[in-house]
């Protein structure tokens, strides 16, 4: 599948546009492809029973000889989560910063892929050569440490990809975003900027993560006599660091609960991204040995996830922690859209147990707001603007910002997943073709074995349940040997609806009689007649539309 | 079931506590019961396939001789929506203000209940006698007109129930809340205040609805050349009035779309709650006869409801309106918690069609914030505080306000639905007993025929689908005559999982062989053995847990 690029760089988002999550973008120039990020997304409300969603990488498989490696911007699930699945088919080396590789390694270990995957740690400021590309890692800030923007040097020009980022002049750990380097590369001339759009609808500047530290100090000083439990994102190591700092200051031990929280804190501490004073951390089993006012518990569950530690505490089914009246419980992260009701449910349950629930509305996000986006555009001064990371409304909002900054309309591209944008310095950039992309559903061990038909069936079953009609016909004669039996699930309380079920049986018997009278022996036809007559009857009587499944056996 | 009250008023919330919606409260004194409100609630996320939820009114049915009437505070669904269902069993007269009765009448007409139900229109300031109670209607403000607080005069003392309310000094239509009357009754001595808690967590004052009018004027003046489409709540007649005012000012015709919007606007206009200048309103079919910049369309769908008019326009399946590039579309209401993702989906679809989507973040709510709640408490000066209308967290927040205002802790009652609070001026109030309450699920025409078992089945089916195993056994001998046949729905793509299905069949055949070998003839046992072995096999192979339904027929 050799393609003639005519000296053009091809940018191919294989996911991550039109949605938050599943970020993955291929950069192709002649016989080289590098892939930036390889994330998963979480299932939409109508994807019943699905655990997670990964991108369709058919294009990479079809061009496997060209693919030089994955370059990962940071360690969040929507940027690394699909690696264990995609690597099975596209096994190329992974390049990322130290913490990012640490978190990827955790995943690969779980999936037994560590031994067969090459990973390389890259430092900020360092570059790597992959085929005809050179990729430079630039320091940024985000709600996880070690995030990078990428400068992608291709024969057709330089592309800057910000990854997820914010501008934090006073980060909790490490350096601020390397604005000088953005400016320096901008001076050289940048062909295209692919910039994070998540907060492009929000005016102003995102606050520094450090501002959260002060509110922790306030809360600790106001609640000196109670146990403190704090829920936040496992991956927000800086937030955890600030909790540990406040705990240390106020003489409290820190325990950690929730699988992902334990994992991330372990990895971050081991790699030096988290400073924990001696004897501050105690095991969750030990907290009972300390008085309540000497303990802080950091836990998962800030989004009301039903199986997370805090939700289990709220529901009284956590094995090690029981919520007590007067516990001070802090939600240290705003609900992600869609999680509001779940969060509220947990808050109600905790309040009912007498706990004092505090919502730390810190207005601190990991993503750049409008003024930060303008800053990056002004430093980089790209020829083309390609907003990334966000739903359509966010991409469009960034396109508006780019317009305001003087980038001509025809140089701004709101791409869809699968679009192949071809560009160089000479000719106008253009979406040339579309490659296959899609969302592959992961359900249990199954990858891709649940698709639209299965989902539609699940939605149908969820809505009104199922009614199964079984009958046995005699071979050749088609005489009714047994049945019809009707069994339903998820439709009505059968015991309280005996009349309805009796009538349904008569409807089915009548339908079968008609088939026998008319000598209809085609099972498909018999099934359809049963389906239609029973469906009509049930709709008239209940205004419901259960799935009707006739099964004919032959004896 | 005559109860001896010992001169005590019994307050019995039959719904509406611990949740938003399904408001209904009984007030009982000796042989008189009056019921305040009779609302529905919308299904929770786990109530699959359910249309709406109504309260269990067993207590009213058991005491039907005492029940004197329904007194309704205002015309929102969570206060009137259960009437058509409850009236079938508790047919007593309904008392409410004019617009509220108008909206109730619409409902009763739909359910063919108009002829057999007594309704009486009450004016603000007027009182009615119901058994030993006198009920006075007090003017309040809310996001629907004609809202009332109630002063409930009983031999045991006066209770003030605010209904849903806010303080709007400059309402769009009619008068401001009758604060003087609250004060006057307060002076007489009020036994208990039952006050709206919805916004009890929010500091400050709710803005006047009138402030929204100015933002409409601004938007109309900034978008003089495009068609304007505005989505808002059908019931917010004042909002609609302000849109009509701006439209008239800017020389635009107004069309209305969406069943509930057409209904409410019709009723409100007919009863004089909406002033529509001559020739301003045009039929939706006529808008094509006017240029885009002479038209405003008011529509339902501000919450992203999938079947609402705006959502259908966004999805390109609306019969009469096609979204054009440059349409200006205004969302004139904030998403209710839980609807954020649906709203975002509609915004993305509209943006993708080139429309300019504006979020009118007016911060105008229909519910009192903390300062307004304090104001009412300070005017009424109740002995007892009984926060109502809200989830536990909201009730608790109001309880905190009551404490701050000096009401002793033991005089503040956060009730649960079904609690019977007995009170008078002499003895300390006390929750005396608990009566039966509950949520009855309405699904299509079925009221209460879907319960926990059916819902659990729907959740199970939704999660992993169903696998049906059918076999026919010979009468007496239990010899296998036909099958086992395996049919699945919502589990896997059968065509792509043939191996798995083949193996599943072998597992079932082995299970049946074991039963035959061991001469097991009990069908229940055979079914369990099939269930267990197939379940184990599928879990091992897929980490999924479909519903397994063995059906045995006899021939």
Q: Could you give the count of Cα atoms lying within 13 Å of A84 in the half-sphere of its Cβ?
A: 21
Mean pLDDT across the stretch B185-211? 95
Helices (H), A5-112: 58-62, 77-80, 83-86, 98-110
Q: Say what the pLDDT of residue B281 is.
A: 94
Q: Which of A315, A334, A359 is the last residue in one of the domains?
A: A359
Q: How far, in Å, are A397, B55, B347 from residue B356 at the CA level?
A: 11, 42, 9
Question: Is B111 domain-assigned?
Answer: yes
* Mean pLDDT, rounded, for B182-207: 96
DSSP letter string over B86-141? HTTTS---EEE-HHHHHHHHHHHHHTT-STT--EEE--TT-EEEETTEEEEEEE-B
Could you tell me if A108 and A199 lie in one domain?
A: yes
d(CA A218, CA A239): 15
List residues bridging with A228 in a β-sheet.
A296, A328
Asked if A48 is an interface residue toward chain B (Cβ–Cβ < 8 A), one would say: yes
Instruction: Decide if B307 contacts B317 (C-beta within 8 A).
Output: no
Of the candidates A463, A471, A542, which has its C-beta nearest B446's C-beta?
A: A542
Q: Is the pLDDT of residue B491 over 70?
A: yes
Domain membership flag for residue B446:
no
The whole domain housing A164 covers: 9-204+366-447
Mean of pLDDT values over B8-28: 93
Are both A174 and A29 inside the same structural domain? yes
State residue B5's pLDDT score.
58
The residue that leads in pLDDT, A407 or B46, is A407
Mean of the per-residue pLDDT values of chain B:
93
Catalytic residues of B: 196, 367
Q: Is the minimum CB–CB distance between A326 and chain B shorter than 8 Å?
A: no
Assess if residue A216 is contained within a domain. yes
Using a CB-CB distance cutoff of 8 angstroms, which residues of chain A are in contact with residue B391? 344, 348
| Across B393-411, average pLDDT | 96
Residue B305 contacts A, CB cutoff 8 Å: no
How close is the nearest chain A Cα to the Cα of B448, in Å? 9
Q: pLDDT, tens digit, for every residue of A402-447?
A: 999 999 999 999 999 999 999 999 999 999 999 999 999 999 988 9
Residue found by looking up tokens 């859209």 in the block: A337
Give the ipTM of the model, two decimals please.
Answer: 0.85
Q: How far apart are alpha carbons B220 and B227 in whole angstroms?
A: 10
Residues B72 and B183 in one domain: yes
* pLDDT, tens only, A457-498: 999 999 999 999 999 888 877 788 888 999 999 998 777 788
Tens of pLDDT, residue by residue over B427-481, are: 999 999 999 999 999 999 889 888 889 999 999 999 999 999 999 888 877 788 8
pLDDT tens readout for residues A53-110: 999 999 999 999 999 999 999 999 999 999 999 999 999 999 999 999 999 999 999 9
Residue B4: pLDDT over 70: no
Residue A26 to residue B307: CA distance in whole angstroms? 38
Could you give the CA distance from residue A457 to residue A448 in angstroms, rounded to a whole number?
Answer: 16
* B125 touching A (Cβ < 8 Å): no
pTM: 0.89
Report if residue A398 sits inside a domain: yes
A265 and A281 fall within a common domain: yes
Kindly determine whether residue B457 and residue A487, on different chains, have CB atoms separated by under 8 Å.
Answer: no
Residue B503 lies in a domain: yes
Q: Same domain for B191 and B258?
A: no
pLDDT of residue B2: 45
Query: Across the beta sheet with A466-473, what order do the strands follow?
Result: A480-489, A466-473, A547-554
Q: Name the 3-class secondary structure at A383.
A: strand
Percent of chain A at pLDDT exceeding 90:
84
Are both A26 and A173 inside the same structural domain?
yes
Compute the distance between CA of residue A95 and CA of residue B203 in angstroms, rounded to an integer.
Answer: 49
From the list A340, A454, A485, the residue facing B492 with the nearest CB is: A454
Facing residues of B161 across strands? B150, B194
Q: Is A137 exposed, middle or buried (0-12, 13-18, 19+ CB in 10 A)?
A: buried
Q: Are residues B30 and B167 in the same domain?
A: yes
- Euclidean distance between the first and final Cα of chain B, in Å? 54
Q: Is the dihedral of CA A267, A272, A273, A278 positive or negative?
A: positive
Write the DSSP symbol of residue A234: T
The verdict on A35 and A161 lying in the same domain is: yes
Burial bucket for residue A517 (CB in 10 Å: 0-12, 13-18, 19+): exposed
**CATH number of the domain residue A258 falls in:** 3.40.50.10710
Query: Mean pLDDT throughout B274-295?
Result: 93
In angstroms and rounded to an integer, the radius of gyration of the C-alpha atoms of chain B is: 29
Distance CA B411, CA B500 (A): 65
* pLDDT of B362: 67
Q: Does A468 touch chain B (CB under 8 A)?
A: yes
Whether chain B has a CB inside 8 Å of the CB on A271: the answer is: no
Tell me the helix, strand and coil percentages in chain A, rounded to 5: 35, 25, 40
**Min CA distance, A345 vs chain B (Å)?**
9
Whether pLDDT at B1 is above 50 = no
Please write the tens of the pLDDT for every residue from B124-133. Answer: 999 999 999 9
**B465: closest CA of chain A, how far (Å):** 6
List all residues of chain B from 50 to 109 with a beta carbon under 8 Å from chain A. none
Which residue among A298, A330, A359 closes a domain? Answer: A359
- Ranking A291-300, B11-20, B82-91 by mean pLDDT, the lowest is B11-20
d(CA A482, CA A509): 12
Task: Tell whether B443 is in a known binding site.
Answer: yes
- Residue where a domain stops, chosen among A303, A329, A359: A359
Q: Do B542 and A446 touch (CB under 8 A)?
A: yes
A553–B470 CB contact, under 8 Å: yes
pLDDT tens digits, A186-206: 999 999 999 999 999 999 999
Residue A481 is assigned to a structural domain of this protein? yes
Which long-range contacts (C-beta less than 8 Å, at least 24 apart) are formed by B506-515?
A: B507/B533, B507/B534, B507/B537, B508/B469, B508/B484, B508/B533, B508/B534, B509/B484, B512/B471, B512/B480, B512/B484
Distance separating alpha carbons of residues B388 and B392, to the nearest angstrom: 10
Query: B456 and B422 in one domain?
Result: no
A314, A305 contact by CB (below 8 A): no
Do B353 and B287 lie in one domain? The reply is yes
**Predicted confidence band of residue A2 (pLDDT cuts 50, 70, 90):** very low
Phi, psi dihedral angles at B24 (to 5 degrees): -165, 125
Neighbours of A132 (CB within 10 A): 17
Do the domain assignments include residue B489? yes
Average pLDDT over residues B301-329: 93
C-beta atoms of B338 and A341 within 8 A:
yes
Of A307-311, A363-367, A395-399, B354-358, minimum mean pLDDT range: A363-367
Please give the annotated binding residues of A, written as ranges.
49, 51, 74, 76, 78-79, 142, 164, 234-236, 363-367, 389, 443
Report DSSP letters for B447-471, one per residue: ES---HHHHHHHHHHHHH-EEEEEE
- Cβ(B370)–Cβ(B167) under 8 Å? no
Q: Tell me which chain B residues have a C-beta less than 8 angstroms from the C-beta of A18.
A: 348
Do the chains contact at B341 and A341, CB–CB below 8 Å?
no
Partner residue opposite A462 with nearest CB, options B453, B462, B481: B462
- The SS3 assignment for A441 reads strand
The residue with tokens 């509609």 is B346
A263 contact B CB<8A: no
For the segment B204-231, the average pLDDT, to the nearest whole number, is 93
User: From the CB of residue B214, how many other CB atoms can be counted at a distance below 10 Å?
Assistant: 12
SS3 of residue A338 by DSSP? coil
Long-range contacts of B151-155 (CB under 8 A, 24+ apart): B151/B185, B152/B27, B152/B34, B152/B36, B153/B127, B154/B9, B154/B27, B154/B29, B155/B7, B155/B9, B155/B29, B155/B30
CATH number at residue A396: 3.60.15.10
Q: Is B218 on the interface with A (CB under 8 A)?
A: no
> pLDDT tens digits, residue range A113-165?
999 999 999 999 999 999 999 999 999 999 999 999 999 999 999 999 999 99
Of A461, A472, A544, the CB nearest to B443: A544
Q: How many residue pairs bridge chain A and chain B with CB atoms within 8 Å of each other?
A: 192
DSSP state of A146: T
* B352 reaches A (C-beta below 8 A): yes
Please list every residue in chain B whose beta carbon sits closer than 8 Å to the beta carbon of residue A323: none
CATH code of the domain containing B515: 3.10.20.580
Residues contacting B47, CB < 8 A, separation 6+: B53, B441, B455
Residue of A554, A452, A509 whose CA lies nearest to B481: A554
- Closest residue in B to A489 (Cα) is B457
Specify whether A79 is located in the same domain as A154: yes
pLDDT of B309 higher than 70: yes
Element (H, E) at A349: helix A340-352
What gap in Å lies between CA B177 and CA B147, rounded to an integer?
A: 9
Whether A547 and chain B come into contact, CB under 8 Å, resolves to: yes
Beta bridge partners of B95: B71, B120
Q: Is A536 an annotated catalytic residue? A: no
From the CA atom positions of chain A, what is the Rg in Å? Answer: 29
Q: Which residue of B has its CA nearest to A349?
A: B392
Rounded-to-integer distance, Cα B433 and Cα B450, Å: 28
**Rounded-to-integer distance, Cα B264 and Cα A199, Å:** 37
Picking from A348, A549, A553, the nearest residue to B489 by CB comes out as A549
**What is the CB neighbour count within 10 angstroms for residue A272?**
10
Q: What pLDDT does B488 receive?
A: 93
Whether residue A136 sits in one domain with residue A263: no
Q: What percent of chain A has pLDDT over 70?
A: 99
pLDDT at position A482 is: 84
User: Quick one: tokens of A27?
Assistant: 């950069």
Q: How many domains does chain B fold into? A: 3
Question: In the structure encoding, which two tokens stand for residue B389, read together?
Answer: 């209308």
The model's pLDDT over A362-399, given as tens digits with 9 standing for 90+, comes to: 678 999 999 999 999 999 999 999 999 999 999 999 99
Average pLDDT, chain A: 93
Which of B540, B478, B471 is closest to B503 using CA atoms?
A: B540
Q: Is B187 within the bounds of a domain?
A: yes
């Amino acid at each position: 599948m050799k393609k003639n690029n005519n000296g053009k760089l091809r940018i191919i988002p294989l996911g991550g546009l039109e949605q938050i999550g599943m970020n993955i973008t291929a950069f192709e120039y002649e016989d080289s492809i590098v892939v930036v990020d390889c994330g998963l997304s979480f299932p939409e409300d109508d994807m019943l029973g699905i655990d997670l969603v990964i991108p369709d990488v058919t294009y990479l498989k079809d061009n496997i000889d060209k693919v030089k490696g994955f370059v990962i911007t940071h360690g969040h699930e929507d940027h690394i989560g699909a690696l264990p699945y995609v690597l099975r088919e596209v096994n190329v080396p992974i390049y990322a910063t130290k913490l990012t590789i640490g978190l990827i390694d955790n995943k690969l270990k779980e999936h037994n892929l560590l031994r067969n995957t090459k990973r390389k740690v890259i430092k900020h400021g360092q570059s790597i050569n992959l085929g005809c590309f050179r990729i430079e890692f630039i320091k940024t800030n985000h709600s996880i440490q070690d995030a990078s923007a990428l400068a992608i040097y291709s024969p057709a020009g330089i592309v800057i990809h910000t990854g997820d980022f914010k501008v934090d002049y006073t980060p909790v750990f490490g350096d601020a975003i390397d604005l000088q380097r953005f400016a320096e590369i901008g001076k050289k001339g940048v062909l295209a900027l692919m910039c994070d759009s998540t907060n492009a609808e929000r005016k102003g500047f995102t606050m520094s993560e450090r501002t959260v530290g002060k509110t922790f100090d306030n809360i600790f000083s106001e609640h000196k006599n109670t146990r403190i439990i704090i829920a936040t994102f496992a991956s927000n190591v800086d937030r955890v660091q600030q909790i540990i700092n406040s705990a240390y200051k106020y003489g409290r031990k820190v325990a950690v609960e929730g699988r992902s929280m334990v994992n991330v804190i372990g990895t971050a501490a081991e790699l030096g991204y988290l400073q924990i004073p001696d004897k501050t951390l105690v095991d969750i089993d030990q907290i009972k040995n300390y008085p309540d006012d000497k303990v802080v518990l950091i836990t998962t569950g800030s989004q009301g996830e039903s199986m997370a530690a805090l939700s289990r505490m709220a529901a009284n089914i956590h094995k090690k922690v029981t919520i007590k009246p007067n516990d001070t419980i802090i939600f240290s992260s705003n609900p992600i859209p869609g999680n509001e009701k779940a969060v509220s449910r947990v808050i109600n349950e905790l309040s009912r147990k007498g706990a004092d629930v505090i919502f730390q509305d810190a207005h601190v996000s990991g993503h750049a707001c409008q003024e930060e986006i303008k800053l990056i555009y002004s430093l980089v001064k790209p020829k083309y603007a390609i907003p990334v990371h966000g739903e359509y409304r966010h991409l469009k909002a960034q396109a508006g910002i780019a317009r305001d900054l003087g980038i001509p309309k025809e140089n701004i591209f709101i791409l869809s997943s699968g679009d192949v944008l071809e560009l160089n310095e000479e000719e106008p950039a253009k979406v040339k073709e579309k490659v296959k992309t899609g969302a592959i559903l992961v359900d249990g061990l199954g990858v891709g074995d649940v698709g639209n038909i299965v989902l539609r069936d699940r939605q149908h079953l969820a809505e009104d349940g199922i009614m199964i009609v079984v009958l046995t016909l005699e071979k050749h004669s088609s005489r009714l040997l047994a049945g019809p039996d009707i069994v339903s699930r998820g439709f009505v309380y059968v015991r309280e609806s005996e009349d309805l079920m009796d009538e349904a049986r008569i409807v089915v018997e009548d339908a079968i009689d008609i088939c026998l009278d008319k000598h209809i022996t085609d099972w498909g036809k018999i099934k359809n007649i049963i389906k239609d007559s029973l469906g009509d009857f049930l709709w008239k009587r209940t205004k419901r539309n259960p799935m009707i499944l006739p099964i004919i056996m032959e004896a």
